[in-house]
Structure 1
Amino acid sequence: MISRFPGLTPTRSRAVVHDGLVFTVAVAPDPVTSSMYEQTAKALARIDESLALCGSDKSRILSAIVYVTDIKRKDEMNRAWDEWVDASNPPMRACIGVDLEPPHIVEIVVTAAQ
């Protein structure tokens, strides 16, 4: 069975649960600042909300992919990540430089156990 949790638009789910796995994606909510640190922190807070909605939490994250528009600013993202992550249960993580729809400069994709 697939459980979908509605997103802000009718064509996107906030999170999906299937067979005990949680899949979710987050960006910082509007209004968006140009700070990569702040956008990352706010996106991670949304990840927390989505995981809780699905009966999970950050200690159960299996993998994360962080997309950033400027890989040279990765240290700002890392600072927010390091403050947020469950250090006793660190997930596998990749960081990839991409073009994102402005004004967003960070997007985070997470897979977690329920």
Structure 2
Amino acid sequence: MTIERFHSGPRMSQAVTHGNTVYLAGQVGAPGESVTVQTETVLAQIDALLAETGSDKSKILSATIWLADMADFAAMNAVWEPWIAGVGAPARATGEVKLATPDYKVEIIVVAARD
């Protein structure tokens, strides 16, 4: 099977496909913005990358969500839930971690299928 890499740099690719599976790198929003704005930005980035790789959010198999502070859980979900509504919720894990910079509040990683 062919492996395709999208938006590759020296350290990582933003997306990798192998067969009918799409793996996205962790997506982050603009540093310093609220968790709401960062989540909106991240989900838009995920939509764009999935479209580019021949998939969409209805085909997300799993999502891992990292929050810098679990106090932001409700605010993140207030953006996530309407975004995923009507397409089938994926398997998901959410946890609190120290992100790459204190200005990041949320990072989302997804694995999706494609046709």
- Is TM (by shorter chain) over 0.5? yes
Q: 1:24: which partner in 2?
A: 24
Q: For the Cα contact (< 8 Å) 1:58–1:86, is it kept in 2? A: no
> What is the root-mean-square deviation in Å for CA atoms of aligned residues?
1.3
Greater than 6 Å deviation, 4+ residue runs? none
Q: 1:84: which partner in 2?
A: 83
Q: 1:67: which partner in 2?
A: 66
What CA distance in whole angstroms lies between the structure 2 residues aligned with 1:10 and 1:86? 36
Task: Give the TM-score of the pair, scaled to structure 1.
Answer: 0.90
Q: For the Cα contact (< 8 Å) 2:57–2:87, is it kept in 1? A: no
Residues 68-90 of structure 1: per-residue CA shift (max 9 Å, x gap): 00012100000010121143311
Q: 2:92: which partner in 1?
A: 93
Task: Give the TM-score of the pair, scaled to structure 2.
Answer: 0.89
Q: For the Cα contact (< 8 Å) 2:65–2:108, is it kept in 1? A: yes
- Letter matched to residue 101 of structure 1: A
Residues 73-113 of structure 1: per-residue CA shift (max 9 Å, x gap): 10000001012114331111111100002211111000000
Q: Which consecutive unaligned segments of at least 5 residues does structure 1 have? A: none
Q: Which consecutive unaligned segments of at least 5 residues does structure 2 have? A: none
Q: For the Cα contact (< 8 Å) 1:2–1:17, is it kept in 2? A: yes
